[in-house]
């Protein structure tokens, strides 16, 4: 008998599973309900929803909700003069408390230069214990062929598409055991925005 799986919560242990989890993502049309996307489990129940700037009316911002519609995280792109001069775009994820951002839990840095299709995106868990990154995204989100992995090289989640799906409106994310699914969805929401998809106006 193996030992119990160690859960690795970033948002909450509620969103960590002891087994591999397959999530299906369906983009929402911008012209009907403002864009964003919904995340379903294999039983086709909505487990997360992401509202982008088409819903919120705020550029550079997304909100992650649970299946009951409760706000979990707000994601904001960092602005200002220093950010404009930086080589990287920075996004920050804050826990929501009574519908207000309360605690910074992670930041994501993405290279502004998109010359390389497979550029690496780095993610830092807050507060930073050191200057090193905690997670990274490798591959092409646009082609639905990328992975999120931790600093040790373990695959956290994989974004892919089903052969039977000709549309980019549907794709799936496989989250490995013990990892925080809400955190993975937040990273997907940022990648979606960066690549000009459903969360972006």
Question: Any idea what the CATH number is for the domain that residue 135 is in?
Answer: 2.40.160.200
Residue 77 lies in a domain: yes
Mean pLDDT of 53-59: 84
Instruction: Give the chain's domain count.
Output: 1
pLDDT, tens only, 135-184? 999 999 999 999 999 999 999 999 998 765 556 678 999 999 999 999 99
SS (H, E, C) the chain: CCCCCCCECCCCHHHECCCCEEEEEEECCHHHHCCCEEEECCCCCEEEEEECHHHHCCCCEEEEEECCCCEEEEEEECCCHHHHHCCEEEEEEEEEECCEEEEEEEEEEEECCCCCCCCCEEEEECCCCCCCCCEEEEEECCCCEEEEEECCCCEEEEEECCCCCCCCCEEEEEECCCEEHHHHHHHHHHHHHHCCCCCCC
Residue 53 lies in a domain: yes
Has residue 3 been placed in a domain? no
Q: Say if 2 falls within a structural domain.
A: no
72 is a domain residue: yes
Q: In angstroms, rounded to a whole number, what is the distance separating the alpha carbons of residues 133 and 130?
A: 8
The answer to whether residue 182 sits within a structural domain is: yes
Place of tokens 């309900």: 33
pLDDT of the residue at 131: 67
Question: Structure pTM?
Answer: 0.88
């Amino acid at each position: 008998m193996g030992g119990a799986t160690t859960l690795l919560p970033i948002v909450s242990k509620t969103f960590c599973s002891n087994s591999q989890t397959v999530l299906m993502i369906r983009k929402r049309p911008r012209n009907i309900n403002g864009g964003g996307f919904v995340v379903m489990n294999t039983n086709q129940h909505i487990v997360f929803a992401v509202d982008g700037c088409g819903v919120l009316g705020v550029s550079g911002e997304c909100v992650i909700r649970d299946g009951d519609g409760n706000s979990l995280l707000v994601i904001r792109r960092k602005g200002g003069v220093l950010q404009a001069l930086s080589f990287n775009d920075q996004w920050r994820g804050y826990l929501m408390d009574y519908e207000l951002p309360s605690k910074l839990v992670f930041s994501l840095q993405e290279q502004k230069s998109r010359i390389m299709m497979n550029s690496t995106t780095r993610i830092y868990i807050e507060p930073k214990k050191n200057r090193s990154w905690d997670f990274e995204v490798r591959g092409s989100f646009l082609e639905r062929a990328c992975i999120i992995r931790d600093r040790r090289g373990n695959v956290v989640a994989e974004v892919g598409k089903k052969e039977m799906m000709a549309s980019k409106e549907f794709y799936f994310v496989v989250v490995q055991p013990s990892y925080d699914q809400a955190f993975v969805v937040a990273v997907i929401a940022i990648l979606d925005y960066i690549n000009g998809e459903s969360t972006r106006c």
